[in-house]
Structure 1
Amino acid sequence: MNSRRYVICDIEATGLHEEKEIIEIALITYQDGKITDVYETLINPLKEVSGFIQDLTSISQKQLAEAPKFYEVADAIRMRLEGGVFVSHNTDFDFGLLRKKYIEMGQDIKMKTFCTLKVAHHEIPGLRNYNLDALCGFFGIKIKQRHRAIGDAEATLALFHELFQLRLKNYTKIMYLPHHEKAMKKVSTKSGLLSFKDNKGKTIHLEAAFNMEKRARELLEVKADNRDLLIRTETIEEELTGTPLIAEFKRLMYHAFTPHWVITMMGHKDGEKFFKLLPYKRGAQGLWFFTDYLDAKIKIKELERKLKTEVYLYRDSEKSKEEILKTNLKIEQLARETRFPNENLIIMGEGRSIGEKSFVLVRGGHVFGYGYSLASEAEIEANPESFITRRFFHHLGVDLTTKRYIRELKNMRQKSDGWRSLAEVR
């Protein structure tokens, strides 16, 4: 921070109305990284103060009646302000009210200002609230005496320091809180499960990731859509899994996938097949599963659109066997994306340490389980059941996650030779 002299100010007033008067002021002079002067005083507003303000500030009418009037402390305040930079959380309010009082005395004050409220809006875009409580909570600053001038001024000084550092580092769009930066340095770049914990050690978010450090940094960037995670996260723990697929399995053990809607394949009496959207019942068979009704409607409309443009699904007259066959063929093609490439297969992947391999085994169209081993791929494929670490029994969330992972593998394999192929288990 440069050698300028900054005067951090907070004012408590009779209210926010136009006729508001000062009842307390605190000034903290800050220069060369240290506090050089602290000044605080009550001020007699020469009017009644509402019970609400007295309760909010814990300042009584009797205390104010015995306090000095503004003109009696005006010189002491001016002496501290002159030549400095006025800092407050909402300079329009604090500096505006202070200047108004001097103008009433036939004087004026003019000085450079630094508004922590406005700077926070610029440096940390997207937060829901920018009041002093919210920003101090964001940076982990404790306010010792809220709604007292000295307590709020001390908090504003701490906030000013944080915002000033952001400007020096030019973190206008992306920024990490200091304790998050420290925590992320300990996070591995390998695949695994991230556990974000609050200050009591309670897990508040789980995230499966291909690169845990990269994903942690994405989630802890200062953005509007992750403010809650930013404020609540105190520490990050990791669990190596070898692949993001197994990490997702572990996440599902804590947060099970619970669908509310399902698209299933049904048939008319004449043998023609069709898709139908239905409420999900536990154990029900289906092709596509959804928690959100809107997502389900979008998918069924997409399927209907494909069928309508390519087959004669919506003819009113009776269909020929050829037309029904064409319809059923197209429906089977669309449904194929929801199935495993083979009913029995194994997905090989990296392990948790050097030399170790991971694998996911599919038997009879369902994920049988996963495991780890130092054995060769040939040995694992010859008898995969003997290496199973965790067994599943027709787990819907695990099956759907694995199918999606296989589709991603196929897509990425077209761009990279580094992805292992799927080996069919005999």
Structure 2
Amino acid sequence: MHGRFDGRPAFLATTFVVIDFEATTPTGHPAQPIEVAALALRYKEGAWTGAGRRASLIRPPAFAPVTPAVTAQTGLTPEQLSQAPGPAEALGALDRRFTADKPYLLVAQHAATEANIIHNQREHCPALARIDLLDTIPLAKYIIPGLPNYQLDTLLAHFAIKKPANRHRAYADVDVTAQVFVRLVSAADEDAQLSDLAALVKIAGRTAKCNMPAQEELFDA
């Protein structure tokens, strides 16, 4: 990719961290992560380069057991996850990879899911919880209108990206989401309306909940 983004300082300075969670969805509780994967990408000298990756299983709390449906989708079993680190350890280790003096954007397919999980786990990952997100779905809707839907498998088929054998494992989904993101940015670089990182954020950005203004209560209790 050689185009207008090559000369945009904000774009070149940003580390894009593609992130994905697998989770259980217990009744009456928010989704609880059971696996996380993150792949950091930087764009420099006309090419994308990896800037680090991390993946970890996460032991869910007792109120959020791994159900047969979760096992059928992900392949993860209660036995595997019983030996995994808890959220504090797993997410804390990921959180320490982020340094305060560098600009980051998280990239996710249907970023609301990742945003909610991160926000609900923010005590374990305070740095991560303050990073805004880019959602590949609205970006894809803008760049390639007319697809029947914008699910990850549909985008993989559109871009002729091979579906991974371990689809619905976080580390596999991160890899293919990163490939989709790179293809979308390459297409965006050819669109005169998408001149810089701010334009991408306007279309596909999602503000981290920790960065949103606090809502004042209308009435005192």
TM-score, reference length from structure 2? 0.71
Aligned to 1:14: 24
> How far off its partner does 1:81 sit?
4.4
CA drift at 1:80: 3.1
Q: State the secondary structure of the residue aligned to 2:121.
A: helix
2:62 aligned with 1:51, yes or no?
no
Partner of 1:125: 145
Map residues 14-53 of structure 1 onto 2, 5 A cutoff.
14-15=24-25, 18-32=29-43, 33-47=48-62, 48-53=65-70
Distance 1:122 1:78, change over 3 A: same
Pick from 70, 89, 92: which aligns with 1:72? 89
1:162 corresponding residue in structure 2:
183
Deviation at 1:73, TM superposition (A): 2.2
Within-5 A mapping of 1:127-142: 127-142=147-162
- Cα drift, residue 100 of structure 1: 1.2
Q: In percent, how many aligned pairs have the same letter?
A: 25
Name the amino acid aligned to 1:163.
L
Residue of structure 2 equivalent to 1:151: 172
Once the 2 structures are TM-superposed, how far is the Cα of residue 45 of structure 1 from its aligned partner? 0.7
Q: Is 1:96 matched with 2:116? A: yes
Residues 119 and 24 of structure 1: is their aligned pair in 2 closer, same or farther, counting only changes over 3 Å? same
Unpaired segments of 5 or more residues in structure 2?
A: 6-10, 194-221
Kept in 1: contact 2:22–2:34 (CA 8 A):
yes
Distance 2:116 2:153 in 1: 22
Kindly indicate whether residue 104 of structure 2 is the aligned counterpart of residue 84 of structure 1.
yes
Count, aligned residues: 171
Q: What's the offset of the Cα at 1:95?
A: 2.0
In the TM superposition, 1:356-395 aligns within 5 A as: none
Matched with 2:15 is: 5
Any residues of structure 2 matched to 1:5-404 within 5 Å, and which?
5-15=15-25, 18-32=29-43, 33-47=48-62, 48-81=65-98, 83-103=103-123, 107=126, 109-144=129-164, 145-170=166-191
2-structure distance, mates of 1:34, 1:16: 38
Distance 2:97 2:147 in 1: 34
Moved more, 22-31 or 94-103: 94-103
- Deviations 1:105-137 (CA, angstroms, capped at 9, x unpaired): 595721231110121112122211100001111
SS in 2 for 1:80: coil
Give the letter aligned to residue 154 of structure 2.
A
| Cα separation, 1, equivalents of 2:109 and 2:83 | 28
Opposite residue 159 of structure 1, the aligned amino acid is V
Residue 21 of structure 1 contacts residue 45 of structure 1 at CA under 8 Å; is this kept in 2? yes
Q: C-alpha distance in 1, partners of 2:20/2:121? A: 15
Report the CA distance shift for 1:80/1:115 in structure 2 as closer, same or farther (over 3 A): farther
- Which structure has more relative contact order (CA 8 Å, sep 6+)? It is 2
Structure 1: gaps of 5 or more residues: 173-426
When residues 120 and 106 of structure 1 are mapped into structure 2, their CA distance, relative to the original with a 3 A threshold, is: closer
Aligned amino acid, residue 113 of structure 2: F
Cα contact 2:95–2:125 (8 A) shared by 1: no
Contact 1:10 1:88 in 2 (8 A): yes
- Whether contact under 8 Å (1:123, 1:171) holds in the other structure is no
Check conservation: 2:22, 2:170, Cα contact below 8 A: yes
Report if aligned partners of 1:7, 1:80 keep a CA contact under 8 Å in 2: no
SS in 1 for 2:36: strand
